[in-house]
Amino acid sequence: MYKVCHSAEYVGATVEQGLARLQGSFPIKDAQHLLIYGSSTATGTLAIQFAKLSGHRVLTTCSPRHFELVRSLGTDAVYDYNAAAEATDNKLKYVLGTISLESSAKFCDVALSTKGGEYTALLTVPIKQENVNNH
């Protein structure tokens, strides 16, 4: 039991650090859309809750079989992780990636506004846009 509880502490710290890199302070002043890629992971489920408490409008991606789980945690919109990122309408400024693969980084790159934004992932997998800050 101790190992499970101890691991949860690290997941919480990871989420807090990732959100702090994206937004700076808590809570945010103006509600912004935040995409959490991989929202049904342990880190993703906690990130949804932290982001909502911080004042974000939370967009998420996961497998369709996990849609109800992430909806129950308060996400504002959920998308199939295989789907194109057109739903962001080139306005998304913040992305937290909980699956650190090249394919997930590419998805996040397409989802972010071409005008720039903030992207952070659990592991360093940079995206290509030059005007996006990779954390």
User: Which tens digits make up the pLDDT trace of 85-131?
Assistant: 667 788 888 888 888 788 888 888 888 888 988 888 877 766 677 76
pTM for this predicted structure: 0.79
Q: What is the pLDDT of residue 10?
A: 46
User: Which tens digits make up the pLDDT trace of 44-71?
Assistant: 999 899 889 888 899 999 999 999 999 9
Domains and CATH numbers, the chain: 2-134 (3.40.50.720)
Q: What is the pLDDT of residue 65?
A: 96
DSSP collapsed to 3 states, the chain: CHHHHHHHHHHHHHHHHHHHHHHCCCCCCCCCEEEEECCCCHHHHHHHHHHHHHCCEEEEEECHHHHHHHHHCCCCEEEECCCCCHHHCCCECEEEECCCCHHHHHHHHHHECCCCEEEEECCCCCCCCCCEEEC
Q: What is the pLDDT of residue 13?
A: 54
Q: What is the pLDDT of residue 5?
A: 45
